A and B are shown apart, each in its own frame.
Chain A
Amino acid sequence: MNELVLTLGWLGIYAPMALGAAASAIGCSIAGMASIGAMTETEGGYGRFVGVSAFPSTMVIYGIVIMFTLNRDVTPENAGGLFGIGILSGIALMYCGIWQGRACAAAINATKEKPEIFGLSLAPAAIIEGFGVFAFVFALVISAGIS
């Protein structure tokens, strides 16, 4: 039984990193495809498209920081806490990354038609980033209570 609990603890430590990486990979690929499509239609502003498509890469950074914060000796007492925080923060980061990629793709698609709305079109992606930051910060806060 203890082995299973300890395994879950280790799973919780690595989950934010793994799910964050998956989130960033999927999000960046979604936004990246939009930027490549937009490049074939527009005459300039390619750098902006590529820059926007890199937005979801922050999720893996949050995941790495959470992983290092959770990283400690896993015991039967703290394994449950590590598992809960790690898995749930990882899932939150994954959803944020994927949907941020879609928001960035929509922003790129809109910006190619109306470059003047570039800043405003990024608002949804920025709001989603805020939700990712919530998941990140409060994972750090809660993890301080685990022995």
Chain B
Amino acid sequence: MSDPDAYIALISSLPGSERLFIAKQPPLSRLRLDRRLTALTAEDARVLKVLEHALNWSDYDMDVTDAQAIERCKEALGDIPQSTLRELFVERLDLRTAVAALRLRKQGAGPPAGTYGMGRWARHIPANWTDPTFKLDGPMPWIKEAKQLLDAGDPMGLERLLLSVSQKQLKRHASRHYFDFEAVAIYVLIWNIFDRWAQSNAQDAAKRFEHLAQQAMAGAAEIGFDGASA
């Protein structure tokens, strides 16, 4: 259990995590966030780095193997002393394991031998491979919708759903921590979700821009050299 008043000034200096998702402009850049996080003690900064290093996709190489990723997560789990952070870390691993299993099965793969992924359902998922939701509707009520989005070929919708589920999980833990290190770590993880969310919006914008550009180019082809439409 961390000191409940350890980071009062730091937490109070951060914009509310709710505002991250409704603001038109990002209220806090990573640069400013990192500057604020210099208030963390060396040990807390190390734990936060371990947590982010294991959870951020951008910290993984494109050619990372399952075994390497699992090893990194296992090492991280051993390096995180706070029970709340360990719990939310395992919840995120559960989510990723279930989604990875959905994707693997959609590609036509058979049930993995023994365990699959990491977390509480690593044995349960291969044992229930043929069930549409791996019999995880109870602990993971979102998995049905995730499967539908995956089957419908809507990766953006799936990404949004997973970010939303992850954010809700973090908010649930945040309700028990106000000014301690766990509150800071949860804020940073929510900020990372906001960052991914903003990037997915940017991708949306890029798609729309491409569509408009193609329309404009098609229109341009119909314009004659004298400026009049053909």
Contact check, A37 vs B15: say whether CB atoms are below 8 A apart. Answer: no
**Cα separation A37 to B9 with both chains bound (whole Å):** 4
Interface residues of A in 4-50 (CB under 8 A from B): 30, 33-38, 40-41
Known interface pairs A105-B179, A106-B178; A112-B12 also in contact (CB < 8 Å):
yes
Q: How far is the CA of A102 from the CA of B15 in the complex (A)?
A: 19
Flag whether A113 is at the interface (Cβ < 8 A): yes
Give 1 or 0 for each of A110-130: 1 = CB within 8 Å of chain B CB.
Answer: 001100000000000000000
Q: Is B5 an interface residue (CB 8 A)?
A: yes
Asked if B16 is at the interface of the complex by the 8 Å CB criterion, the answer is yes
Residues of A contacting B: mostly: helix
> Residues of A contacting B15 with CB < 8 Å?
41, 113
> Can you list, as one digit per residue, whether each of B1-20 has a CB less than 8 Å from chain A (1) or not (0)?
00011001111111110110
Asked if A37 and B12 make an inter-chain contact with CB atoms under 8 angstroms apart, the answer reads yes
CB of A108 within 8 Å of the partner chain: yes
Mask: chain A, 72-108; 1 = CB below 8 Å from B; 0 = not: 0000000000000000000000000000001001101
Q: Min CB distance, A48 to chain B, in Å?
A: 13
Asked if A109 is at the interface (CB within 8 A of a chain B CB), the reply is yes
Contacts of B179 in A (CB 8 A): 34, 102, 105
Question: What CA separation (Å) do A112 and B19 show in the bound complex?
Answer: 12
A105-B179, A106-B178 are contacts. A37–B19 as well, Cβ < 8 Å?
Answer: no
Q: Which of B12, B16, B18, B178 contacts A33 (CB 8 A)?
A: B12
How many chain-A residues does the 8 Å CB contact rule pick out?
16
Are A37 and B5 closer than 8 Å at their CB atoms? no
- Chain B 101-123, CB within 8 Å of chain A: the 1/0 string? 00000000000000000000000
Which chain B residues numbered 6 to 52 have a C-beta less than 8 Å away from chain A?
A: 8-16, 18-19
Is A109 touching B19 in the complex (CB atoms < 8 A)? no
Q: Is the CB of B16 within 8 A of A37?
A: no
Give me 18 other A-B pairs in contact (C-beta within 8 A), A35-B12, A38-B12, A41-B12 excluded: A30-B8, A33-B8, A33-B9, A34-B8, A34-B9, A34-B12, A36-B9, A36-B12, A37-B8, A37-B12, A41-B15, A102-B4, A102-B179, A105-B5, A105-B12, A105-B179, A112-B12, A113-B16
A-B contact pairs, 10 of them (CB 8 A): A33-B8, A37-B12, A41-B13, A102-B5, A105-B5, A105-B178, A109-B11, A109-B12, A113-B18, A113-B19
